[in-house]
């Protein structure tokens, strides 16, 4: 049985903890060999309700890997799981990550098709839509300027361009939750923290 919101609130000690307890519950379930999707969703929803302060610097720190997705497929995670629904992404699956650079407002999206041998990578920039908003959810506009398919050492340019809005719904120094306008949601963990937080092998 999934925990109720009141139980989650008790376990995390209320919103004053910035969702710390809910984050712990979420990470514990993601480490579980047989994760409970209902528990994951309840913990994620608690994080969204926390409305933690938005710190632009926390978007940086290197790539953040998608470890859980919910809702319609995100383009850069399209080959890591199902097109719709919920999915825990394990270290043995095709990987997808995003790298935001707060110093330049640059971004890189990466998604594997056949592991590291075949992947799509696109790059662009991002900008907050409202500088006065100091708490999550914080809406940013991402602009993609180009990309490529890399397959067994070959590089094939792709005519990928466009803009889109995404809410930074939760953010701290090693985890973030992005929510798109189409209802899709992505929980991401900083790549260099995956061994510590989820027990993944060090790369």
Question: For every one of its 203 residues, what pLDDT tens digit does the chain have, with 9 covering 90 and above?
Answer: 444 443 444 334 334 456 778 999 999 999 999 999 999 999 999 999 999 999 999 999 999 999 999 988 665 555 555 445 679 999 989 999 999 999 999 999 999 999 999 999 999 999 999 999 999 999 999 999 999 999 999 999 999 899 999 999 999 999 999 999 888 999 999 999 999 999 998 86
Q: What is the CATH number of the domain that holds 140?
A: 2.40.128.280
Domain that holds residue 180: 54-198
In a domain, 15, yes or no: yes
In a domain, 36, yes or no: yes
- Determine the angle formed by the axes of helices 37-50 and 5-12, rounding to 10 degrees: 60
**Pair (46, 121) in one structural domain:** no
What is the 8-class DSSP label of residue 144?
E
Cβ neighbour number for residue 48 with a 10 Å cutoff: 18
What's the total number of domains in the chain?
A: 2
* pTM of the complete model: 0.86
Q: Helix, strand or coil for residue 75?
A: helix
In a domain, 187, yes or no: yes
Phi and psi for 194 in degrees, rounded to 5?
-60, -40
**Pair (16, 83) in one structural domain:** no
């Amino acid at each position: 049985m999934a925990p109720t919101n009141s139980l989650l609130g008790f376990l995390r000690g209320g919103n004053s903890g910035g969702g710390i307890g809910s984050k712990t519950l979420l990470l514990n379930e993601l480490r579980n060999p047989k994760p409970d999707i209902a528990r994951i969703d309840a913990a994620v929803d608690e994080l969204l309700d926390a409305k933690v302060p938005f710190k632009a610097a926390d978007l940086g720190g290197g790539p953040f890997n998608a470890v859980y997705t919910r809702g319609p497929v995100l383009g850069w995670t399209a080959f890591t799981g199902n097109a719709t629904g919920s999915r825990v992404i394990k270290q043995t699956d095709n990987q997808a990550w995003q790298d935001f650079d707060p110093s330049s407002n640059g971004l890189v999206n990466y998604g594997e098709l056949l592991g590291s041998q075949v992947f799509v990578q696109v790059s662009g920039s991002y900008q907050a839509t409202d500088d006065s908003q100091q708490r999550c959810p914080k809406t940013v506009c991402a602009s993609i300027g180009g990309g490529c398919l890399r397959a067994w050492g070959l590089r094939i340019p792709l005519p990928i361009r466009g803009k889109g809005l995404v809410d930074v719904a939760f953010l701290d120094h090693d985890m973030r939750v992005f929510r798109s306008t189409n209802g899709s949601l992505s929980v991401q963990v900083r790549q260099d923290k995956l061994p510590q937080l989820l027990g993944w092998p060090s790369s």
